[in-house]
Structure 1
């Protein structure tokens, strides 16, 4: 029960890495609010885990404000925020990615971090404690071709993590990130462009351990970074990638 007594918001928590984090946090004793666009999936998972659910668009200020209000009402407070919700564009030459796709990637992957900080950091400052975890990507450390603007958004996330950490550390607030390699999640096909055995084999050949990240991998890493065991850890962008970035 490494997160006993902790109250956590997990965005994009209905599937993929977010679901893995939600399951781990609930198993370790945290009260969890799962926030996602997919309300039906969110509610089903919340019912299974004994968690709370809310419909949230992390790119909209009012929606994030409402999410925080739900957490305060239903959890009685907030100790942890996991910025997991994310999106990408289809692989393409950088100049061919549409402006609409560019705007969506940066709204979901970057603006969301700003918005959760806007509404949660004042609460953390008031209580003198809190933990923020940003789910970035190895793409922000070792970019892949044809995913340029997605790469850039995750690089932004890593830099924001360090900037937030150094500013908030004196106030008792820790900020870290995890950098997963691609996982067998709903976004995998979008990353690869097409999902065939040949494309998977080529992708896996770049990961020394020889497998994709799993939701369980992310849950385990997130649990450590958000627990009191990591009380001296802030500003870290942890690669959970099977050696991809070596």
Structure 2
């Protein structure tokens, strides 16, 4: 895709699923990729996969809920490859799908700390250096749960918050040449869906899948393609947009 080759990308939550697929896609398009996650072993595997295909990648173990960790991530990116041109703020957890009254304050805080504050921490670091460097493109990971009530309440609230942060960041940093968008996937074939299936039951997940006009789960690579497109020159007039990738479920 135009505008990716030679750039620098940060991908959080890059140890598996959509994050891994996106890191691989950025590298395949010619970007140098810094892959971040708290899972050091699977993080190293993502880098190995990229390098085996001839790409350039570096792993940085990062807890996105820790502002100091995120600041260190961006600093290491600059030291290794230069100022990031692109970022996917993807790290997230699903939490429990139990009713609100059955969840604890700790359940709530854990999901918000990773899914919403984690994106905030990334944005505060990424936007500053991109704005000073003449621009860039950021994609935040929301969900169809960021546009509906599809999921546990803490998860739904966190993903709605990501959409709000995306719009605010796009409005504030557009004049500095930074575009900020979100993607809102539906049911994608990842480990997160496997865990949800264990909690909610395979029948419930299958009912959600069959409610989609395309009658299937999405693949991580399908979301990765949209993320990289949103960072490319081919989407140069797109900002502040929550892009739904759900096989038609929200329709």
Question: Which residue is equivalent to 2:87?
Answer: 81
Offset, 1:48: 2.1
Offset, 1:196: 4.9
* Long gaps (5+) in structure 2: 52-56
Does residue 184 (structure 1) correspond to residue 189 (structure 2)? The answer is yes
**Among candidates 48, 60, 65, match of residue 59 of structure 1:** 65
CA distance in 1, matches of 2:173, 2:61: 28
Moved more, 17-26 or 197-206: 197-206
Does residue 102 (structure 1) correspond to residue 103 (structure 2)? The answer is no
Question: Which residue is equivalent to 1:204?
Answer: 209
Contact 1:89 1:190 in 2 (8 A): no
Map 1:146-225 → 2, pairs under 5 A: 147-194=152-199, 196-225=201-230
Question: Which residue is equivalent to 1:49?
Answer: 50
Contact 2:163 2:242 in 1 (8 A): yes
Contact 2:34 2:77 in 1 (8 A): yes
For 1:67-106, what per-residue CA distance to the aligned partner results, in whole angstroms no more than 9, with x for missing partners? 1111011112211111000112121111111211111110
SS of aligned partner of 2:191? coil
Question: Which residue is equivalent to 1:12?
Answer: 13
Offset, 1:205: 2.0
Question: Which residue is equivalent to 1:130?
Answer: 136
Offset, 1:195: 6.7
Contact 2:183 2:242 in 1 (8 A): yes
Contact 1:179 1:240 in 2 (8 A): yes
TM score, norm. by length of structure 2: 0.93
Offset, 1:197: 4.3
CA distance in 1, matches of 2:149, 2:200: 20
Cα root mean square deviation, aligned: 1.4
SS of aligned partner of 2:22? helix
SS of aligned partner of 2:131? helix
CA distance in 2, matches of 1:242, 1:156: 23
Contact 1:140 1:154 in 2 (8 A): yes
CA distance in 2, matches of 1:195, 1:120: 36
How many pairs does the alignment contain?
245
TM score, norm. by length of structure 1: 0.95
Does residue 31 (structure 1) correspond to residue 50 (structure 2)? The answer is no
